[in-house]
Structure 1
Amino acid sequence: MFSKVFLYTDRGRLYCLSRLAVRKYSTPSYIHNPGSAPLKCITLGRLLEEAATKYGDRPALISRAQNQVLTFQQVLKQADKLAAGFRSVGLNPGDRIGIWAPNISEWYLTNMACGRGGFVLVNINPAYLVRELENCITSVGVKAIVCPHKFKNHDYYDNISELAPELLKHDPGKLKSKTLPSLKTVIITDKADLEGTFNFGEILDKASDGDINSIKNMQDYLDPDGLAHLQFTSGTTGKPKAAMQTHFHIVNNGNSVGKRNELDKKHQTICMQVPFFHVYGTVISQSAALNHGATLVLPNLGYDPDKALDAIRDEKCTVIYGTPTMYVDLINRQKVRKEIISPEIAVSGGAHCSVNLFKEMKEVLGVKKVKSVYGLTETTAVVFQSLFDDDEYHSTSSVGYVSEHIEAKIIDEKGTIVPRGTPGELCIRGYCNILGYWENEEKTKELMGADKWLRTGDTFVLEEDGYGKIVGRLKEIIIRGGENIYPAEIENFLNAHPDILEVHVIGVPHERLGEEVCAFVRLAPNSTFTLEHLKSFCKGKISHFKIPSVLKVIDAFPKTTSGKIQKFKLLELMK
């Protein structure tokens, strides 16, 4: 016998839940945004083809460090040549091709070629060293890898040779390695002539007209629900896992996030400070730009706030992408340089954007709107995001409203939906949820049950108006003398202090209380900020048990390449 249903509306939409699920709560922490436009059932390759037809000679990518400009038509042409070249050296649809590189045009073209040729792109952090690389290659069976010879102090070729010394003895494309048994082909993006490798240009030149036509003809047979990317989790809490994202996931999440970022309003030029290998780079940047004809500007091969400022000025960028840390750096450089720039929109993701930072982004960078995005690798990318007309309160106190075609709910430790305004674990259900982790059934089951609700591991609050707030990670909750403390709440408060450029809060062991609150801070130049100043600033404004009793001043935070703080490393520093 069916239980009665509970009906309620949100922003004019009607929703229902079983009374058993919501019990006595008048407004449960559940929301569904059905969207107004249908989802796209196409591959990344088809999306590129549509973009080339629609936007033609408009620049798709500007790589300033390489002095390169590629139009949408040129990207399609090069992607088909590259895909055909991959086929000519023995790669077949479904094979995994690793891309291990900074932000270079070859990264972008490799992604597009994989979309056109049915290969699976494996995104590898360019900062990874030998053992991390080995895990990536062996865990998913990478057959070919595309990388530069060197970047900064990193010798990629030497790293591969250390793992597979057989590379020096075998012909290109015929590697037989004991340590890396799946790897057969190494493709170097530079013009260096290195033993056992192909050059990127050489692969392009291998494609015949017939090979290119076969790539064009196969577009009708590639499955939008087929695997497109293996995206390693960012490693903020430990060993990365390979999340399986389909063409359908990536195309539609990019389309949705692009609309919220107003890329569909006019031709937008995006200063892209974030790395390509992360979902911020693959989905929020590349897929969104393809969907809406935006131009991606790469200020430099690696992160550099001065180069970003140059790019915003020279390319007249209308949109900026970055993490809060990147915006702190960009603002500090603009205060010194005072460049004449006029960006309209700043998109911030990866962490919460404080009120102070929000104001400085407007005042110093001159942006008209600041938009927040929230998501996970496991949800393809974005699931909550700022709306078009959000005021300062919603832009700074929340991560926005739930994205189109997505359901969200907040549950307690028993799995019961909590009332709105109550912290709990955020769960997501919708087209965006990944297929699972590559060959890791145990972790996949922990992530997502048979009901297809994905457990994010984030402590979240759904407000009465449907906006979401991050409270912290479940595993990051500090339990001090029996009191639950959410680091994000303290971080947001301390970020308002003028001497603090950046703050991150962790729990540290305490003999009597179990855990004590520790604040790591990066301070403004010449600041004399102390623990006593911190306590005085907090007194009477936040609960006494939330006030940090330990202060650590730090010059730079340990981060992933995508700009996320690795809090487990902060705890290691304390130990």
Structure 2
Amino acid sequence: MSQQIELTVGALLDDIAGKFPDNEALIYVERGLRYSYREFNERCRQVAKGLLRMGVKKGDHLAIWAYNVPEWVVLQFATAKIGAVLVTVNTSYKSAELEYIMKQSDSKFLFLVQGFKDTDYIRTLAAVVPELAESEPGKLESRDLPFLKHVVFLGEGAPAGTINFEKIVELGREVPDAELHAVEKTLSVHDVINMQYTSGTTGFPKGVMLTHHNLVNNGFNIGECMRFTEKDRLCIPVPFFHCFGCVLAVMACVTHGSTMVPVEIFDPLKVLQAVEKERCTALHGVPTMFIAELEHPRFPEFDLTSLRTGIMAGSNCPIEVMRRVIRDMHASEITIAYGQTESSPVITQTRTDDPIELKVSTVGRVLPNVELKIVDIESGAELPPGKQGELCTRGYLVMKGYYKMPEETAKAIDADGWLHTGDLAVMDENGYCKITGRIKNMIIRGGENIYPREIEEFLYTHPNISDVQVYGVPDRKYGEQVMAAVVLKQGSEMSEAEVKEFCRGRIANYKIPKYVRFVDSYPMTASGKIQKFKLREMAIRELQLEENI
């Protein structure tokens, strides 16, 4: 087994900036922004010192609610340099989800942009924290979010009650380097520095606690699987708030001195323009992103011959799409990765020289320094190659646990340190894994993990709904769509449109059921358990979705 990296995220950046000071670290094509590794590290240090001046202590929780703006990447390293925990908030979240995460995470700071797509973040925050507009910046006293003290605006100006991000940079100039060094000396690679929320099977998202050690080593091994060097340039259209963005992209680059070329909000044309202009050698995305790029009417205009590799993940890749990515996008060494937030996140990955058949039929083999086994769901016994069971993993990649949820943590990680993924898989004799299903009823729609329980809990709050079961049905474009089977209360009436309208603006758009059907009862087992697989089978027949499977 190769040696593990024993560096904090901040020390890693110092090390890489020392080795490749003039290499380009971060490029924003549309903003004309370019940082070398020396400049990027200096910017991160400045922000880290500014946060210290604002009273941030090691272990404090700071939330960020933003798409792929430059401040996001800077904060990922600045917070790590002082041992603060960066809490990532899904850009699609609405008021109920924001309030839950800010409350559950005990976040003292919230960094946010003006808004994203159909959501005005400032207005959404005002609904959760009405005291903000009248409060002096830094002295917020919120009844519902007592921990929250500072709201920092990423953009021009500063809405009422907030301070602008550049103010933190200015404050950093007043802090001597020695003060930052003193804090850095107190950090351990096993400290938690990142918290990402994964939708909960119990109805509420769980804060996955990830350490320096988790992220640095996972990022390094992901980059190794793509054969990254300091000469690689990765176009990043996947969101930073997901592990896909902040680990498979950012950490894979920084561990190798490679160049990051983010796209702020996914747009296939902007991706194609960035790849051509910056001669990117790698590109990440979920299959739907690659499809949108390949099918863009202006696709033939772009010279993508610089592309070599990248990662496709989030859902299965159709073979025809893979063929086109290799042939028409020139990414002959594209890889497939599989994992989950709890494993920081990648467990298996294909390698650059794997044949196309393995890239479309498997999720690759286990990463270096990681253990993997397939176990019998009933007995827990390890299974031989070719037998289906639950995929379990152990090693540096396993999370510290769920924040303030010890019972949930104990369910996920057993006494021997094995993380139980809840995914059904088969491994062949060469170690290549196929994911064959899920023990939990998770829905994966266009790379977004959706836990039915969370939507069910929300819909239960409607006065007309007596019971609801949410499950996934196949969809050609997104892999799966959300469907709800609703039992109404006696004497109540409701339409499909009313169910959707109730959700709109209160839960993320991608969680709103695409299909709603009203039923009197559910198919049950003899012991009274609802059989969701039967509901799914019935829906596939009724909606004639057979060809989408």
For the aligned pair, the TM-score class normalised by the smaller chain equals 0.7 to 0.9
2:207 is equivalent to residue 242 of structure 1: yes
CA distance in 2, matches of 1:141, 1:129: 18
Matches within 5 A, 1:189-338: 189-233=154-198, 239-264=204-229, 267-299=231-263, 301-333=264-296, 336-338=299-301
> What are the superposed Cα offsets for residues 352-377 of structure 1, whole Å, 9 maximum, x if unpaired?
22212211212222221221001110
- Does the CA contact (< 8 Å) of 1:230 and 1:243 recur in 2? yes
Match of 2:453 in 1: none
Q: How many pairs align?
A: 473
Q: CA deviation at 1:231?
A: 1.1
The percent of aligned pairs where both chains have the same amino acid is: 31
How many Å apart are 1:407 and its aligned residue? 1.0
Amino acid at match of 2:541: S
Residues 106-154 of structure 1 show CA distances to partners (whole Å, capped at 9, x for unaligned) of 0011111101111111011111111111111110100011111334432
Aligned residue for 1:60?
Answer: 25
- 2:410 is the alignment partner of 1:445: yes
Q: Distance in 2 between matches of 1:364 and 1:518?
A: 37
Do the aligned residues in 1 keep the contact of 2:309 with 2:352 (CA within 8 Å)? no
User: 2 CA distance for matches of 1:322 and 1:235?
Assistant: 24
User: Is it true that 1:165 corresponds to 2:133 in the alignment?
Assistant: no
**1:238-260 alpha-carbon deviations (Å, 9 max, x no partner):** 53210010111111111111100
CA RMSD of aligned residues (A): 2.7
Which of 417, 422, 427 does residue 382 from structure 2 map onto? 417
Q: Which residues of 2 match residues 394-433 of structure 1 at below 5 A? A: 394-412=358-376, 413-433=378-398
**Offset of residue 51 of structure 1:** 1.3
Partner of residue 350, structure 1: 314
CA distance in 2, matches of 1:295, 1:453: 34
For residues 237 and 439 of structure 1, the distance between their equivalents in structure 2, rounded to whole angstroms, comes to: 14
Taking structure 2 as the reference length, the TM-score comes to: 0.81
Distance 1:334 1:56, change over 3 A: farther
CA separation of 1:519 and 1:39: change in aligned 2, threshold 3 A: farther
Runs of 4+ with deviation above 6 angstroms: 505-510
Query: Among residues 466, 487, 491, which one is paired with 2:431 in the alignment?
Result: 466
- 1-structure distance, mates of 2:283, 2:37: 21
Partners of 2:393 and 2:420 within 8 A in 1: yes
Distance 2:235 2:524 in 1: 49
How far did 1:476 drift? 4.2
Contact 2:158/2:164, CA 8 A, preserved across alignment: yes
Counterpart contact for 1:516–1:549, Cα < 8 Å: no
CA shift, 1:176, in A, is 0.7
Which residue of 2 is the match for residue 529 of structure 1? none
Cα shift readout 1:146-188 (whole Å, capped 9, x = no counterpart): 1113344322222222211211222111111101100000100
| Matched letter for residue 269 of structure 2 | D
1:39 matched to 2:31: no
Structure 2 gaps, min length 5: 444-473, 486-521, 526-530
**Partner Cα separation in structure 2 for residue 194 and residue 424 of structure 1:** 52
Unaligned runs of 5+ in 1: 1-34, 479-493, 521-547, 558-566, 568-575
Please tell me whether residue 340 in structure 1 is matched to residue 303 in structure 2.
yes
CA distance 1:152–1:517, shift in 2 (3 Å): closer
CA–CA distance in structure 2, aligned partners of residues 325 and 518 of structure 1: 25
Establish whether residue 379 from structure 1 lines up as the match of residue 343 from structure 2. Answer: yes
Offset of 1:235 from its aligned partner?
6.5
DSSP-derived class of the 1:271 partner: strand
CA contact (8 A) 1:411 1:417 kept: yes
Structure 2 CA distance for aligned equivalents of residues 518 and 281 of structure 1: 34
2:331 pairs with 1:367? yes
Please tell me whether the aligned partners of residues 268 and 292 of structure 2 are also in contact (alpha carbons under 8 angstroms): yes
- Structure 1 residue 456 and structure 2 residue 448: aligned? no
Distance of 1:183 and 1:477 partners within structure 2 = 32
- How far off is 1:221 after superposition? 2.2
- Conserved in 2, the CA contact under 8 Å of 1:328 and 1:501? no
Q: 1:467 to 1:132 in 2, by over 3 A?
A: same
**2:56 is the counterpart of 1:79:** no
What's the CA shift for 1:475? Answer: 2.9
CA contact (8 A) 1:101 1:126 kept: yes
Kindly provide the amino acid, as one letter, of the partner of residue 242 in structure 2.
H
What is the rounded CA distance, in whole Å, between the counterparts of 2:177 and 2:116 in structure 1?
31
- 2:452 corresponding residue in structure 1: none
How far off is 1:553 after superposition?
Answer: 6.8
Q: Is the 2:523–2:535 Cα contact (8 Å) retained in structure 1?
A: no
Structure 1 length normalisation: TM-score?
A: 0.77
Residues 8, 213 of structure 2: 8 Å contact kept: yes
Tell me if structure 2 keeps the 8 A contact 1:97–1:145: yes
Contact 1:335 1:364 in 2 (8 A): no
Measured after TM superposition, the shift of residue 331 of structure 1 is 1.1
